[in-house]
Structure 1
Amino acid sequence: MHSGRTLANQGSKEIECVVQSISSTTHCYTIQPTISADGKSLSPLYLVLKEIGRDFGPRVEKTLFKPTNVFVSASKSGKLTSDHLKQWLTEIYFANVGDNSALLIDSWSGHCSEVVDAVTPPNKKIVLKIIPKGTTGQIQPLDVFGFRIWKNFVRHSSDIVILSGSDINLHLRNNIIKLQSLVHNQLSSPRYINMLKYAWYKNGYTEKTPPEFINPVTFGFGDNSEPRCHICGDSAVITCSWCKKSLFLKHFFEEYHYCNEYIP
């Protein structure tokens, strides 16, 4: 994700920017996080990549990066279809919820009760609530408070890779998966439970105001970070939301810093 803004002298007629891949600025893929009203980010994250053949070929399957906290699928457009909804329900939603649950989704045409009923296990009871058309931006918890933070975290991470001159091509499918896996891991830290609770509170779904919380971008890239990496001593670029270690780019991204050791 590259920002659509940059600095230039006032009156400049041509503004030049640097991106890793021009074609990838219009390349689309979809993430579908699942959050609960008690402030948890459910795992795995659902990720749909754009593939010409609508699916991964056997050669791609052999080299595909498959982290435990991301379920990777594909489509011709990089967007979801009703079949993807069935897959998400089967592989992620029902695997995470109890025997009784309420599911809040937007009014996209693929989100219909018939599809949900078709894949609901016999031992599960689900109450489906669909957000009215045209109101998603006002009352969908992640739209109102969540996706902007997620995008900012991705953008900060991407900018660090580019500014450091690192040989990491963020538009490659495995690096897309790795980046989204790392962001999902970081935002799943217990440190942000109150933040996700606030997403529900701000829309009026819950009545109790959550305690104050720190923004993940502020915590990960802010002034609280140590100047040196805990591992190698080089300049740190991010503070882990779980273990609070400040890390150099290599140890966070290239070596894939998946963490679940929480230190308050």
Structure 2
Amino acid sequence: MNLLNVAKHLLHLAQTECGSENSATTSDEIFLAERLFEVLKSFKDSYFSELYTYDSLDFDDEWDEMTNEEESDDDNDDYDENQHSDIENRFTLEEMENIIEWVDQHPNAKIATISNRFKKVKYMYYITRFRKYIEDNGTILEKLKQIKEFMFNEFYQKRTIEKETVHDADLELYAIQKARELNWDTFKANAQNWIESKRPLISKYSSHQILNSDHCSFQQEYIPPRTLSFTGERTTEVAVKKKYNTTHSYTVQPVTSADGHLLDKFLLILQEKENTFGANVQKNLIVPPNVVVKASKSEKSSGEKHHAFLNEVLHPLVGKRFLLFLDSWKTQADLTKFRAVFPNQDSQLLILPEGSTGYIQPQDLSLFRSWRFIHEKIEHYVHINRTEMNINDRQYF
């Protein structure tokens, strides 16, 4: 898109509508022009796929004389669920509370003044949404905080002091007990409840459009946690080929769909001394076309690796419409990073609740268990049959 052509046509429309009378440019007009230019740049960079228009725009600075006119908070209620979700992901509860506190202290402040102070607040309807979110979720978050503290205190009491056994069911009972004390009758200590709450959004996508991805790490040399030995043996020792391989691992990140398919590409992160492969490694490393390989000191993912996953693995596999489930790792949960690669609003990101991986993360419950089992069997086969194969070599990963 040529922004210069757009600006020329905009000038033509303005002259046609309002005439070509020359006058001094005011600060409000400069501010408006800057905001319009930012909107045009957004379209040029494809960050937005739709343009939302509103009935009026006010551009009073906070140093100007404030009027006593009340602004309507309902001017911009023509938002969709995706916009609301974007607001929740872009602002923390603390940020929302700080903004609302300032707005309440300046009741006549208009959107230009608010935007000048809080750069991420673009429209007046944000304030309405903040109030509702704080009212609905602020109390819930506070209750959840109290429940988690109560659960930890009970766990600590039972295990450290009373030396009792504690199971998942006990933690659930602790949570329900505290929720009842807080008069939260609808509380359910169950990750399935979160899935049910997202059912309306999930139902909008077909099974092949619903995707899941997660990280799975493997030791470079697998050591079984048990072994047969002699009765009465006080210390059981096991020899390994390289101690280094027992403490270092590699990580894979595949993509699966709800219709049971493993998608064609996946990310492989190999642990190296530096965050890059040396010249000799690059020369000898054979990389299949369906694998994106990255190096990392820790073999764990990072912001850079997550961007590579979105851009090099996921992007070639999907269209404009899909729903992706990821864990609550902070980097993955950043909607800004996701939108930088997938600006279309039909591409949606859902973050699984913290602590729910072992209950509702599809890949953890199925795929990775079988992969680890196969990995153990391959290691066992190579060891038993004395196969002339160094399975710890990065090429076999």
Cα distance in structure 1, aligned partners of 2:369 and 2:257: 18
Deviations 1:236-259 (CA, angstroms, capped at 9, x unpaired) = xxxxxxxxxxxxxxxxxxxxxxxx
Q: Is 1:129 the counterpart of 2:328 in the alignment?
A: no
1:54-203 to structure 2, matched below 5 A, reads 54-111=275-332, 112-120=334-342, 122=343, 125-176=346-397
Aligned-residue offset at 1:25: 0.7
**Structure number, greater radius of gyration:** 2
Aligned-residue offset at 1:167: 2.2
SS in 1 for 2:337: helix
Q: Is 1:27 the counterpart of 2:248 in the alignment?
A: yes
Matched-pair contact (CA < 8 Å) for 1:46–1:71: yes
Decide which structure has greater helix share: 2
Cα distance in structure 2, aligned partners of 1:124 and 1:8: 60
Aligned-residue offset at 1:174: 1.1
SS in 2 for 1:25: helix
Aligned-residue offset at 1:124: 7.5
Aligned-residue offset at 1:173: 1.2
Q: Aligned AA for 2:272?
A: E
Of 273, 288, 291, the residue aligned with 1:52 is 273
Deviations 1:13-53 (CA, angstroms, capped at 9, x unpaired) = 12232433222011121111111001110122211001111
Q: Aligned AA for 1:157?
A: I
Cα distance in structure 2, aligned partners of 1:82 and 1:17: 37
Q: Aligned AA for 2:396?
A: N
Identity %: 36
Cα distance in structure 2, aligned partners of 1:88 and 1:125: 19
> What CA RMSD, in Å, does the superposition of the two structures yield over aligned residues?
1.6
CA spacing shift, 1:21–1:124, aligned 2, 3 Å: farther
Larger mean Cα displacement after TM superposition, 166-175 or 88-97:
166-175
Matched-pair contact (CA < 8 Å) for 1:90–1:119: yes
Cα distance in structure 2, aligned partners of 1:138 and 1:10: 39
Cα distance in structure 2, aligned partners of 1:124 and 1:134: 28
Could you tell me the TM-score, scaled by structure 1's length? Answer: 0.63
CA spacing shift, 1:113–1:30, aligned 2, 3 Å: same
Q: Is 1:2 the counterpart of 2:220 in the alignment?
A: no
Q: Which residue is 2:78 aligned to?
A: none
Aligned-residue offset at 1:123: 5.9
Q: Aligned AA for 2:248?
A: H
1:245-256 to structure 2, matched below 5 A, reads none
Could you tell me the TM-score, scaled by structure 2's length? Answer: 0.42
Deviations 1:211-246 (CA, angstroms, capped at 9, x unpaired) = xxxxxxxxxxxxxxxxxxxxxxxxxxxxxxxxxxxx
Aligned-residue offset at 1:56: 0.7
Q: Post-superposition, which runs of at least 4 consecutive aligned residues in structure 1 deviate over 6 A?
A: none
Cα distance in structure 2, aligned partners of 1:71 and 1:168: 24
